[in-house]
């Protein structure tokens, strides 16, 4: 049976064997730039597919109330081990699509290698669930990968596919290329920082 990246077992194996080429071991510079100009004042933020959880610290230190979720037990264990106890309890082992988040709806949801990690047939479901978990006018912000879909993950967006995917639920408010020097080799020159505001009627 072929491996299925929509199942936690696919990712469990990679974390257990330290086959994590998407893990830079640090917070992306694009997020640090965003947090410099968008400090938190207690707003709630969700990090889906949090992996090792580096961004948890960045958001928490910037003044946000952070919740992180991943369906891979080894990923959650790795994130919890890195974080202080008062933060680690907010790293959840659960399914983004079905977990009943106590802090929902959120003011902000952060994207980083979550969309591109899952098969494209799940992307509309990700967008719909994201809209459901955000307050009206809430922000979806983060880094999106544009490239080929074959042999994924990562599964890349095609030019213009992002606009079509998000149009019904979100308004794009920022969209800029990320310098190749800020990306890991597998993503270099193929990433964009994007911010979207949830439509009031979504």
SS (H, E, C) 65-79: EEEEEECCHHHHHHH
pLDDT digit string, tens, across residues 82-105: 999 999 999 999 999 999 999 999
Q: Is residue 179 part of a domain?
A: yes
The pLDDT assigned to 36 comes to 97
Beta-carbon contacts of residue 94 (< 8 Å; ≥ 6 apart): 69, 71
pLDDT, tens only, 129-186? 999 999 999 999 999 999 999 988 999 999 999 999 999 999 999 999 999 999 999 9
Report if residue 41 sits inside a domain: yes
Domain contains 9: no
Percent helix, strand, coil in the chain (nearest 5)?
35, 25, 40
Domain presence at residue 64 = yes
Q: What is the number of domains present in the chain?
A: 1
Query: Structural domain of residue 153, as residue ranges?
Result: 26-198
* pLDDT classification of 80: cutoffs 50, 70, 90: very high
Residue 39, domain member (yes or no): yes
Q: Is the pLDDT of residue 1 over 50?
A: no
Domain membership of residue 62 (yes or no) is yes
**pLDDT score at 3:** 85
- Structure tokens given for 169: 């639920």
- 158 inside domain: yes
**Band of pLDDT at residue 2, cut at 50, 70 and 90:** low
Q: What is the pLDDT of residues 36-68, one digit of tens each?
A: 999 999 999 999 999 999 999 999 999 999 999
CATH number, domain containing residue 108: 3.40.50.150
User: Would 5 be classed as within a structural domain?
Assistant: no
């Amino acid at each position: 049976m072929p491996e299925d990246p929509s199942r936690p077992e696919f990712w469990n194996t990679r974390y257990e064997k330290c086959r994590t080429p998407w893990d830079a071991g640090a917070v992306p510079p694009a997020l640090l730039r965003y947090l410099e100009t968008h400090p938190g004042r207690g707003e709630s933020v969700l990090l889906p597919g949090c992996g090792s959880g580096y961004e948890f610290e960045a958001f928490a230190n910037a003044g946000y109330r952070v919740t992180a979720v991943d369906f891979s037990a080894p990923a959650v264990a790795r994130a919890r081990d890195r974080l202080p106890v008062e933060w680690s309890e907010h790293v959840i082992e659960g399914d983004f699509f079905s977990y009943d988040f106590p802090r929902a709806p959120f003011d902000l949801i952060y994207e980083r290698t979550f969309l591109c990690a899952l098969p494209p047939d799940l992307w509309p479901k990700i967008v719909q669930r994201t809209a459901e978990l955000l307050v009206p006018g809430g922000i979806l912000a983060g880094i999106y990968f544009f490239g080929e879909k074959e042999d994924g993950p990562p599964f890349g967006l095609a030019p213009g596919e992002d606009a079509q995917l998000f149009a019904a639920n979100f308004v794009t408010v920022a969209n800029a290329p990320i310098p190749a020097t800020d990306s890991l080799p597998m993503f270099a020159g193929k990433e964009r920082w994007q911010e979207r505001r949830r439509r009031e009627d979504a």
